[in-house]
């Protein structure tokens, strides 16, 4: 259900490094953390370098969908290239990473994804972007490129309009 990746689904208790890998599969799941190369790395100090991903990534029930990685904590992503089509239900979708937190670093990556879309956003789950869906705190994104004309689309409906922050 969760932690699906083209090369590695997820890791616990170890900061590992992935280099020179290509994820070329279509990945469909019902949960969260889907990535073209790695689903989820919750351990600080991990890195993903010189990797690429193609195919379609689609979550029918979760969030954190990324062209390269669904989610990474305190790690780095560099020199990666993604051309996959990304879609999810709850948001936090990015061309390179769906979520990057705890002082992450994303550098020299190319998000050449044709489209990024979210079909329904729950309150508090708003992010959808070309490079990283949501990055916090104190993250660095440097020297990254996105495809011109990339389609980023979504829908956010808040039942109480007084609480509505914005619509995508």
Instruction: Concatenate the DSSP letters of all residues of 3-20 into one string.
Output: -EESSEEE--S---EEES
pLDDT of residue 155: 56
pLDDT of residue 118: 84
Q: CB under 8 Å to 121, separation ≥6 — which residues? A: 90, 91, 154, 155, 156, 157, 168
Structure tokens at 66: 């990324």
**Residue 96 DSSP one-character state:** S
pLDDT of residue 164: 45
Report the chain (168 residues): mean pLDDT per 10 consecutive residues: 93 87 95 96 93 95 94 95 92 93 95 89 67 90 94 64 44
pLDDT of residue 159: 53
CA atoms within 13 A on the CB side of 138: 4
Question: Which of helix, strand or coil describes residue 103?
Answer: coil
State the DSSP H helix or E strand holding residue 40, giving kind and residue range, or none if neither: strand 38-41
Structure tokens at 13: 């208790």
pLDDT of residue 89: 85
94 bridge partner residues: 66, 129
CA distances for 161 relative to 127, 157, 166, 167, angstroms: 19, 9, 10, 11
């Amino acid at each position: 259900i969760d932690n699906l990746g083209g090369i590695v689904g997820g890791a616990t208790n170890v900061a590992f490094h992935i280099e020179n890998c290509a994820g070329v599969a279509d990945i469909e799941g019902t949960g969260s953390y889907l990535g073209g190369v790695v689903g989820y790395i919750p351990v600080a100090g991990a890195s993903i370098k010189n990797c690429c991903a193609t195919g379609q990534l689609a979550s029918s029930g979760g969030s954190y969908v990324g062209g390269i990685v669904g989610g990474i904590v305190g790690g780095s992503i560099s020199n990666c290239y993604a051309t996959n089509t990304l879609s999810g239900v709850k948001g936090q979708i990015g061309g390179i990473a769906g979520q990057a937190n705890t002082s992450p670093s994303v550098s020299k990556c190319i998000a050449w994804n044709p489209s990024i879309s979210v079909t329904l956003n729950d309150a508090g789950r708003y992010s959808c972007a070309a490079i990283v869906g949501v990055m916090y705190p104190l993250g660095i994104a440097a020297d990254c490129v996105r495809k011109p004309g990339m389609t980023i689309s979504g829908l956010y409906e808040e039942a109480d309009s007084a609480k509505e922050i914005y619509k995508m």
